[in-house]
């Protein structure tokens, strides 16, 4: 029997596609586009179309299991859920008694999780335990803090409105991999005569079609944005009427931008003065103009200030107030939904640990040490900086590691105890887009594979076993959804939309116009071009640039952007291909490296052995190894994160994936050639 079900993709992507899932004989036989979210436009990405490969993967975890071999060896024996949860309960109580509850560290990110499977019963458990708190900094904290500081995290321009834009700037974003539904919209805008500018060290697919591509050196976005701001003021292209009415901090921003004339910006970014002038003139003269700001610039020592300066541009240039004008970043704040409060989880005063420092945390001299590590919704061995430190930390014999996962990831190999998790097709999930302003709620379409269970169910169970449940706790998916929506003033409207159309939009609507439909969500409804709180928390003050200009030992910058094959590291097990490092001919030639050669990419943290792709699609001085790789995709089992430092961004303690310095050599081959 064949049936069709509406679903929603909760994977970490701005688009939040509606899905239609076909089920035959209890198994998923086809996944295609659904209709509720208009941005889906009738098509979905190749990854999710073949998501059934993940559901039925030979690497799928089907039962709880306990380690039998040495840590990391991947040898496990099946046990029952009862035994697994009992063992965890005993370990947690013991850790609490001997070392204090802060010796328990929950470790999750959850970019690919919706509102039911993240920050609900899990938060309740760990908060009530008084476990160490995790600062979830691996992604989007610097960008979020910048958006919050300047605009109070107001909703941003809907990408559909780019059809009205005369200029589209894609800054540190590669929608061809990371949010594909923007691509046909950009294409249509170009056909209507819009101009396209791309700011990216690589020739991305849209950079290849851009009127202007600015292949800046990684990490130099801050001088670039400040240079544009300075030019706008100096050439009287700043919109002083808009700034007088809607902004504060203008003089301070101007002062910090003062040093960055275009020749200086050119020297720092590796761009020509002519290209910079073309860009700023085009930006000044185009109405409406929109900047789609991504996350590429964030993963850098200057990531917070750089994003703040980019977001200041549309205010300085007066680009708001029309459809298709302003900027787009994350819209996850638009709904103002709060799972945590709804879950009855109040944050304890326990210590906070920055997730980007996991290796250091496990290996260092912390008091109390971390004795129980509970990993879920994350794959830290693949996705965190300083991979060797993370691995070594997880090898610690006195550490009890639980990994709650769907498949046998590189991290799961290091578990003492494995718990099998359902995928979104096997449980209910309510999910909100962070690009498309949609909220969707989808029932399970198939029964759980094996003995897999959902996060909310397992954490509620553990809460009960540890005696931490309270009367009135929302435990079932329905109760959690009702608690989340019930806590919101517009909850009833959301419910009505979900029931009638399978989708709800935030109170500001699906495609609101900033400064027309609402003013900034800051306390005084103004744009804060120089938010004091950011200036206070920024390492050297807001808009101050840091550089290690021309690191002589490791002259190449390594970046690790997303690809269309994985979502972060998710689906990596379905990817058979070997990864390559991309290097520009100008860097390959003097090193005697030719296409297909096996090379060693290295720095003081480690080395990655893989084949080279020699290509002018990356700027000279920069090499590229994809994000999201697993051990199996390189020749020595290390991935780009073996080379990424655990230094932090200027604001928010963000990861510096795109701020690694390396060198590359041909590897010695055993053939003697
Ligand atoms: N298919 C797929 N989709 C995804 C993801 C995925 O892994 N796969 N990940 C999801 C997640 S978790 C996120 S956060 C988003 C990320 O979405 P994006 O921000 O689009 O993704 P990235 O590939 O990290 O970075 C975008 C671009 O920034 C460039 N870049 C690198 N360093 C710099 C720099 O210093 N300055 C500038 N201007 N550009 C730089 C890279 O070359 C890359 O082309 O995508 C989401 N969507
Ligand atoms: N080198 C480099 N590294 C990067 C980046 C980069 O640009 N370069 N980008 C970073 C970014 S943007 C991000 S967001 C992080 C992401 O870092 P992570 O969150 O660690 O990475 P994911 O690959 O999303 O891992 C999520 C895991 O959770 C599992 N999972 C999914 N749903 C559930 C569920 O319902 N329950 C349970 N228990 N498990 C589930 C999936 O199978 C998957 O293995 O990676 C970062 N790592
Ligand atoms: Mo991310």
- 590 domain-assigned: yes
Report the half-sphere exposure of 521 (CA within 13 A, side-chain side).
14
User: Exposed, middle or buried, 670 (CB in 10 Å: 0-12/13-18/19+)?
Assistant: exposed
- 308 domain-assigned: yes
* Chain mean position to CA 218: 18
Write phi, then psi, for 33 (nearest 5 degrees). -70, 145
Is the same domain home to 78 and 194? Answer: no
Tell whether ligand 2 has an atom less than 6 A from the beta carbon of residue 412: no
Where helices occur in 398-503 by DSSP H, the ranges are 455-465, 477-486, 491-501
Is the same domain home to 167 and 295? Answer: yes
User: Exposed, middle or buried, 368 (CB in 10 Å: 0-12/13-18/19+)?
Assistant: middle
Is the same domain home to 360 and 278? Answer: no
Neighbours of 75 (CB within 10 A): 12
Is the same domain home to 324 and 348? Answer: no
pLDDT means over runs of 10, the chain (673 residues): 96 98 97 97 97 98 98 97 98 98 97 95 96 98 98 98 98 98 98 98 98 98 98 98 98 98 98 98 98 98 98 98 98 90 85 98 97 98 98 98 98 98 98 96 98 98 97 95 92 93 94 98 98 98 91 93 97 94 98 98 98 98 98 98 98 98 88 42
Is the same domain home to 177 and 321? Answer: yes
Cα(479) to centroid(ligand 1), Å: 36
Distance separating alpha carbons of residues 650 and 46, to the nearest angstrom: 36
Strand, coil or helix: 524: coil
What CATH number does the domain containing 388 carry? 3.40.50.740
The CA R_g of the chain, rounded to the nearest whole Å, is 25
* Chain mean position to CA 578: 23
- 440 domain-assigned: no
Instruction: Decide: 653 and 136 in contact? Cβ < 8 Å.
Output: no
Tell whether ligand 2 has an atom less than 6 A from the beta carbon of residue 113: yes
Question: How far, CA to CA in Å, does 667 sit from each of 622, 625, 633, 635, 661?
Answer: 19, 17, 17, 11, 19
What CATH number does the domain containing 596 carry? 2.40.40.20
Q: What angle do CA 370, 375, 378 make, to 5 degrees?
A: 130
Distance separating alpha carbons of residues 96 and 34, to the nearest angstrom: 47
Cis, peptide link before residue 15, omega less than 30° from 0: no
Instruction: Decide: 574 and 57 in contact? Cβ < 8 Å.
Output: yes
In this predicted structure, what is the pLDDT of residue 670?
53
Residue identified by tokens 């160490």 is 132
| Among candidate residues 281, 199, 290, the one with its CA nearest the CA of residue 234 | 281
Is the same domain home to 38 and 99? Answer: no
Is the same domain home to 314 and 364? Answer: no
Residue identified by tokens 């005369």 is 166
Is the same domain home to 238 and 354? Answer: no
Is the same domain home to 324 and 371? Answer: no
Instruction: Decide: 199 and 171 in contact? Cβ < 8 Å.
Output: yes
Nearest 10 degrees: Cα torsion 318, 319, 320, 325: 180
Residue identified by tokens 């004795």 is 371
- 152 domain-assigned: no
106: tokens are 């929950």
Question: What total of structural domains would you count in the chain?
Answer: 4
DSSP letters for 335-366: T---HHHHTT----S--EEEGGGHHHHHHS--
* Beta-bridge partners for 134: 353
- 649 domain-assigned: yes
Is the same domain home to 185 and 132? Answer: no
Q: What is Dmax (Cα atoms) for the chain?
A: 72
In this predicted structure, what is the pLDDT of residue 668?
79
Q: What angle do CA 154, 159, 163 make, to 5 degrees?
A: 130
Is the same domain home to 320 and 171? Answer: yes
- 502 domain-assigned: no
Write the residue with the smallest CA distance to atom 26 of ligand 2: 378
Choose one of 135, 202, 378 to mutate for the ligand 2 pocket test, by most ligand atoms within 8 angstroms of C-beta: 378
In this predicted structure, what is the pLDDT of residue 669?
63
Write phi, then psi, for 403 (nearest 5 degrees). -120, 120
- 310 domain-assigned: yes
Report the half-sphere exposure of 417 (CA within 13 A, side-chain side).
24
Instruction: Decide: 659 and 591 in contact? Cβ < 8 Å.
Output: no
- 434 domain-assigned: no
* Beta-bridge partners for 148: none
Tell whether ligand 1 has an atom less than 6 A from the beta carbon of residue 12: yes
Cα(519) to centroid(ligand 1), Å: 29
Cα(295) to centroid(ligand 1), Å: 5
Distance separating alpha carbons of residues 404 and 401, to the nearest angstrom: 10
What CATH number does the domain containing 44 carry? 2.20.25.90
Tell whether ligand 2 has an atom less than 6 A from the beta carbon of residue 370: no
Tell whether ligand 2 has an atom less than 6 A from the beta carbon of residue 657: yes
Tell whether ligand 1 has an atom less than 6 A from the beta carbon of residue 606: no
Strand, coil or helix: 5: strand
Write the residue with the smallest CA distance to atom 15 of ligand 1: 178
Cα(437) to centroid(ligand 1), Å: 20
Is the same domain home to 579 and 630? Answer: yes
The range of the structural domain enclosing residue 584 comes to 556-666
């Amino acid at each position: 029997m064949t049936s069709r079900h509406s679903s929603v993709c909760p994977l970490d992507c701005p688009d939040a596609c509606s899905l239609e899932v076909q089920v035959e004989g209890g198994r998923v036989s086809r996944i295609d586009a659904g209709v509720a979210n208009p941005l889906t436009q009738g098509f979905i990405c190749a990854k999710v179309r073949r998501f059934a490969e993940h559901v039925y993967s030979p690497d799928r975890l089907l039962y709880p299991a306990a380690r039998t071999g040495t840590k990391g060896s991947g040898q496990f024996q099946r046990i029952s859920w009862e035994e697994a949860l009992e063992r965890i309960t005993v370990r947690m109580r013991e850790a609490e008694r001997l070392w204090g509850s802060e010796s328990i560290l929950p470790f999750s990110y959850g970019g690919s999780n919706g509102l039911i499977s993240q920050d609900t019963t899990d938060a309740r458990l760990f908060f009530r335990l008084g476990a160490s708190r995790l600062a979830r900094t691996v992604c989007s904290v610097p960008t979020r803090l910048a958006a919050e500081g300047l605009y109070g995290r107001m909703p941003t321009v809907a990408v559909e409105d780019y059809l009205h834009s005369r200029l589209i700037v894609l800054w540190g974003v590669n929608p061809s991999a990371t949010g594909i539904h923007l691509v046909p919209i950009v294409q249509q805008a170009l056909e209507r005569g819009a101009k396209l500018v791309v700011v990216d060290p690589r020739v991305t697919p849209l950079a290849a079609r851009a009127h202007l591509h600015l292949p800046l050196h990684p990490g130099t976005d801050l001088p670039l944005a400040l240079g544009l701001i300075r030019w706008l003021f100096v050439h009287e292209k700043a919109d002083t009427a808009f700034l007088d009415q809607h902004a504060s901090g203008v003089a301070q921003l101007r002062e910090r931008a003062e040093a960055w004339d275009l020749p200086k910006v050119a020297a720092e970014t590796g761009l020509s003065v002519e290209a910079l002038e073309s860009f700023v003139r085009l930006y000044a003269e185009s109405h409406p103009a929109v900047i789609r700001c991504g996350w590429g610039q964030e993963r850098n020592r200057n990531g917070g200030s750089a994003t703040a300066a980019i977001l200041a541009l549309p205010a300085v240039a007066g680009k708001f107030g029309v459809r298709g004008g302003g900027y787009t970043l994350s819209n996850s704040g638009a709904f103002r939904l709060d799972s945590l409060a709804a879950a009855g989880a109040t944050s304890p005063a326990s210590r906070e640990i920055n997730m980007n420092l996991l290796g250091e945390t496990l290996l260092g001299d912390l008091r109390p040490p971390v004795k129980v590590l509970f990993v879920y919704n994350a794959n830290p061995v693949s996705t965190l900086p300083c991979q060797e430190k993370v691995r070594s930390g997880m090898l610690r014999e006195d550490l009890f590691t639980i990994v709650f996962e769907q498949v046998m990831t590189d991290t799961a190999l290091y578990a003492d105890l494995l718990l099998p998790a359902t995928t979104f097709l096997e449980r209910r999930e309510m999910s909100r887009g962070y690009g498309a302003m949609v909220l969707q709620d989808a029932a399970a379409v198939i029964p759980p594979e094996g003995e897999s269970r959902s996060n909310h169910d397992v954490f509620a169970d553990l809460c009960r076993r540890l005696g931490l449940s309270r009367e009135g706790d929302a435990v079932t998916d329905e109760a959690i959804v009702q608690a989340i929506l019930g806590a919101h003033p517009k909850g009833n409207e959301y419910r009505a939309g979900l029931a009638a159309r399978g989708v709800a939009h935030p109170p500001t609507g699906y495609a609101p116009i900033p400064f027309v439909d609402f003013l900034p969500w800051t306390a005084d409804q103004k744009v804060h071009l120089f938010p004091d709180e950011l200036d206070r928390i920024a390492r050297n003050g807001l808009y101050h640039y840091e550089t290690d200009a021309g690191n002589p030992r490791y002259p190449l910058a390594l970046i690790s952007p997303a690809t269309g094959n994985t979502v972060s590291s998710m689906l990596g097990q379905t990817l058979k291909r070997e990864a390559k490092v991309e290097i520009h001919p100008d860097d390959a030639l003097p090193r005697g490296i030719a296409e297909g050669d096996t090379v060693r990419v290295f720095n003081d943290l480690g080395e990655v052995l893989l084949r080279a792709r020699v290509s002018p699609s990356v700027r000279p001085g920069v090499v590229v190894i994809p994000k999201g790789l697993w051990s199996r995709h390189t020749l020595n089992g290390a991935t780009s994160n073996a080379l990424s430092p655990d230094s932090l961004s200027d604001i928010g303690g963000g990861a510096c994936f795109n701020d690694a310095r390396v060198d590359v050599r041909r590897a010695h081959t055993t053939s003697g050639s």
